[in-house]
Chain A
Amino acid sequence: METFVFFYFASIIVLTAGFVVALKNPIYSALALLVMFFHVAGLFVTLHAEFLAIIQILVYAGAILVLYLFVVMLLNLKREEHFHGQFIVGLFLGCVLFAEAVLLVLKGETTLGGNLPDSAAPMELTQGNTESIGELLYSTYLFPFEVASLILLVAMVGAVILTKKGILEVKG
């Protein structure tokens, strides 16, 4: 049953990822990415990461993708040109990278796979997934958490300065 669910999610993820790259219209690409985000969230649920599944839908599908769609519709693009001239080279490099990953996994079955448990270790279920992540986030990873907030602040200021008319021109 779990194998079937995994293969359903995996096939949809790969299919929609292919659509994101292959479709000509940027709006269709963004919508394919939306479907992919939902299926990644489903994969997270099967891996007992419920908090991240919800965050995936809220942040990625709710915020990031809406931003993309907003910009695509704001720019009002004409017909898009076709693929880049380095089409063959790019395809070849991607295939080489994937073959390398598969080869590493196959070779790693003897060394790395020996150490890994075949099935998931039972998570301590004394508290929920969200509570555990929160405790970890506010104790062990407190400093990275603060740095992340700083990154968001810098990104916000940078985005405002980049898009506001006149600021860059006056300085330049």
Chain B
Amino acid sequence: MDVPISYYVVLSGLVFSIGLIGVLIRRNIIIILLSVELMLNATNINFVAFSSYLGNLSGQVFVFFALTVAAAEVAVGLAIIIALYRHSSSINIDDFRLLKW
């Protein structure tokens, strides 16, 4: 394996930055959740790369846990989106500035 580990770190940083930009500039809540998935995947790439280069399997176990949390986040997040859409028939983030209604 002749790819230096810094390549993986830079790739992960790039994907994480794209996810962050997506969270900041999009208005659609679904796209914002997809961008959060991008950021989680970027950290997973980092975990697996370091786990492989250090010869330690704990990093892969942590990716497994990150996957579990991502699944839980998607279930609750999409449920919230559906509840919001039912309430005001919009999923534009600018329509939800009040904590109460």
Please give the residue numbers on chain A whose beta carbons come within 8 Å of chain B beta carbons, in ascending order: 2-3, 6, 10, 13-14, 17-18, 20-21, 26, 29-30, 33, 36-37, 40, 43-44, 46-49, 51-52, 55-56, 59-60, 63-64, 67-68, 71-72, 74-75, 77, 80-84, 86-87, 89-91, 93-95, 97-98, 101-102, 105, 108-109, 113, 116-123, 129, 132-133, 136-137, 140-141, 144, 148, 151-152, 154-156, 158-160, 162-163, 165, 168
Instruction: List 9 interface pairs A-B (beta carbons < 8 Å), by A numbering.
Output: A20-B18, A21-B21, A81-B27, A84-B93, A94-B18, A95-B17, A132-B57, A141-B65, A154-B72
With contacts defined as CB atoms under 8 Å apart, how many contacts are there between chain A and chain B in the complex? 236
Given that A40-B44, A75-B91, A159-B76 are known contacts, is A49 also in contact with B20, CB under 8 Å in the complex?
A: no
CB contacts (< 8 Å) of B55 on chain A: these are 120-123
A43 near B45 (CB under 8 angstroms)?
A: yes
B27 near A13 (CB under 8 angstroms)?
A: no
Q: How far is the CB of B80 from chain A (nearest CB, A)?
A: 6
A55 near B67 (CB under 8 angstroms)?
A: yes
CA distance A64 to B58 in the complex (A): 24
B24 near A33 (CB under 8 angstroms)?
A: no
Give the most central of A13, A40, A160: most B CB within 10 Å. A13
CB contacts (< 8 Å) of B20 on chain A: these are 90, 93-94, 97
Q: Which residue of B has the minimal Cβ distance to A108?
A: B6
Give the most central of B15, B26, B41: most A CB within 10 Å. B26
